[in-house]
Amino acid sequence: MQKEELILILDFCGQYNQLIARRVRECNVYCEIVRHDISAEEVKNKGAKGVIFTGGPASVYGEDAPKCDPKIFELGIPVLGICYGMQLMTHTLGGKVEKADKREYGETQVSFEKSILFDGFGDSNVCLMSHTDYVDTLPQGFEKIAHTESCPFAGIQNTEKNFYGIQFHPEVNNTSDGIKIIDNFVKKICKCSGSWKMSSFAKETVKALKEKIGDGKALCALSGGVDSSVAAALLNEAIGENLTCIFVDHGLLRKNEGDEVEEVFGKRFKSKFVRVDAEKRFLDKLAGVKDPEKKRKIIGEEFIKVFEEEAKKIGTVDYLVQGTIYPDVVESGKGIGATIKSHHNVGGLPDYVDFKEIVEPLRDLFKDEVRKVGRELGIPDYLVDRQPFPGPGLAIRVTEDITKEKLDILRDADYIFREEMEKDGVNKYSNQYFAVLTNVKSVGVMGDYRTYDYMIALRAVTTVDFMTATFTRVPYETLERVSSRIVNEVPHVNRVVYDVTSKPPATIEFE
């Protein structure tokens, strides 16, 4: 992968940090998010062509306010400060930041003056503002390049040193054409050529993996999710039959899912594929268990046991392949203060399997980049475009205790819901949608008969990061058809409800 043109994004805990990185990469420039307290020396050693300071919730006068190494401003490389980043730059370089009584929040009309940063942007534009403190006095050498009605310095620059600051957020969609600002910064100011391309990633990674692994053997726990599938596909290209993929079918998968995974990895790929039918084992362990946390724990432990047993049959391997992607890397502690939900996939695996090293070929990529690589490697769209699916599978979508009968009901209802959402194009604006078998039974009437059957809840959310989400505004017509089909086609369901709760206060999953 071509990494020589690097932009570093210093993380001040802003909620949109990953979006900034996404935007930079959309400009075909490679970037990494790093801790805010990275030393100037490290920035220099990494060969960064520019630095972006993110926004963040702190005030520069706060006791624990995150600071940067001031020597970064002496490296001779361009700096763009966004929101808190601009305030910190101002504060560090001798300007003055003031506390305002009121927060300025929302889409705001911003007036622009001439600056290379705003090339192609016009005199005025709607931008997302979200700040309380504001820059009151500029540091020496700076001039104003943007303002709003209530914010005198919405944009500042020091062209001699190539320091730029903006109070609004160019990375979000609410700022129309905001990507142009990022493009101007990375290309016109930092002089990156914009030659980093995803298309070369697959080829170069396969080559690098071939060199690294040679004739060694690798093992991959394949879940059927996008990340482990694409990681396995890269290894399949690189080392072929020296890779063994173990797919634990715990009986908690969606309709047809196990067969779809087998079709691709078992039939089309050169690598060895082991599908372990562990449905009975999992369902026996889960019988009568109602507590969601207990269910998760049982599934996690059982998964490791099954995997370990299968891995033992293979013997020692050199490499364990994991589908870690960039957000996992950032979330697992490189950033500060991030409150991220713990990941409960196949945690702890490395302790149980005899191997020499972990390979994580997707460590640098975002989800949609992973999907692109997957497509390039010939993984079919239905696998590559898969929405997130939790490690514990349908076990956390059947509330309370689980039986095979309930799982089968859920699988059928879920399939209908997904099919209709896709038919009506609602999937384009809903990021995750699924059915849940509630443990509620209610009275209904079918023909002349009274029924007493299960209630299915439909859940669909629109979200960027899955940390917060709103319920998707699914058209009534779609809901009506889904409801009617489920009640008519799936035995033992006589009522369908739609969940209109956002996250928070609810979570996306029911358990």
* Minimal distance, residue 99 CB to ligand XMP, in Å: 34
Active-site residue, from 68, 83, 151, 220: 83
Is the Cβ of residue 388 or residue 444 nearer to ligand XMP in the bound state? 388
- 3 state SS of 326: helix
- Residues 295-354 within binding reach of ligand XMP (CB under 6 A): 341, 343-345
Of 318, 392, 417, 420, the residue at the interface with ligand XMP (CB under 6 A) is 392
Nearest distance, CB of residue 227 and ligand XMP, angstroms: 10
Quick one: tokens of 472? 């998707």
Query: Is 200:2 a contact under the CB 8 Å cutoff?
Result: yes
Q: Which C-beta is closer to ligand XMP: that of 279 or that of 509?
A: 509
Binding residue (CB under 6 A) for ligand XMP from 466, 498, 499, 501? 466
390 binds ligand XMP (CB under 6 A): yes
Nearer to ligand XMP, 92 or 345 (CB): 345
Strand partners, 275: 247
Query: With binding defined as CB under 6 A, does residue 509 bind ligand XMP?
Result: yes
**169 in active site:** yes
Q: Nearest CA to 201 among 368, 26, 376, 386?
A: 376
Looking at beta carbons only, is 227 or 453 nearer to ligand XMP? 227
**Do residues 27 and 183 lie in contact, with contact meaning Cβ atoms separated by under 8 Å?**
yes
Containing 413, the helix (H) or strand (E) segment is helix 404-423
Encoded tokens for 162: 């190539």
Pairing of strands 449-462, 470-471: antiparallel
Pick from 388, 400, 455, 497 the residue near ligand XMP by CB under 6 A. 388
Nearest to 246 by CA among 270, 215, 268, 277: 277
In terms of CB distance, is 60 or 286 closer to ligand XMP?
286
Closer to ligand XMP by Cβ: residue 115 or 432: 432
Verify whether residue 171 is a known catalytic residue.
yes
Q: How far apart (Å, rounded) are the C-alpha atoms in residues 119 and 334?
A: 34
| DSSP-derived pairing of the beta strands 143-147 and 104-112 | antiparallel
Distance from C-alpha of 244 to C-alpha of 317, rounded to nearest angstrom: 10
Report in angstroms how near the CB of residue 277 gets to ligand XMP at its nearest. Answer: 22
Q: Does position 508 bind ligand XMP by CB under 6 A? A: yes
User: Residue 176 or 415: which CB sits closer to ligand XMP?
Assistant: 415
- The CB-of-504 to ligand XMP minimum distance in angstroms stands at 9
CB 376 → ligand XMP: shortest distance, Å? 24
Residue 449: phi, psi to the nearest 5? -105, 145
Instruction: Confirm whether 83 is a catalytic residue.
Output: yes
Query: Under the criterion CB under 6 A, does residue 503 sit at the interface with ligand XMP?
Result: yes
In angstroms, rounded to a whole number, what is the distance separating the alpha carbons of residues 250 and 401? 16
Task: Report the site for ligand XMP in 400-459 (rule: CB under 6 A).
Answer: 432
User: DSSP assignment of 451-467, as one string?
Assistant: EEEEEEEEEEEE-SSSS
Distance CA 94, CA 92 (A): 6
| Active-site annotation holder among 171, 237, 310, 420 | 171
Cα torsion angle, 425, 430, 431, 435, sign: negative
Examine residue 391 and tell whether it contacts ligand XMP (CB under 6 A). yes
Burial (CB < 10 A; 0-12, 13-18, 19+), residue 64, is exposed
Q: How far is the CB of 235 from ligand XMP (least distance, A)?
A: 21
Options 275-283, 306-314, 365-373, 383-391: segment touching ligand XMP (CB under 6 A): 383-391
Task: Please identify every residue annotated as catalytic.
Answer: 83, 169, 171
Interface residues with ligand XMP (CB under 6 A) are 341, 343-345, 388, 390-392, 432, 466, 503, 507-509
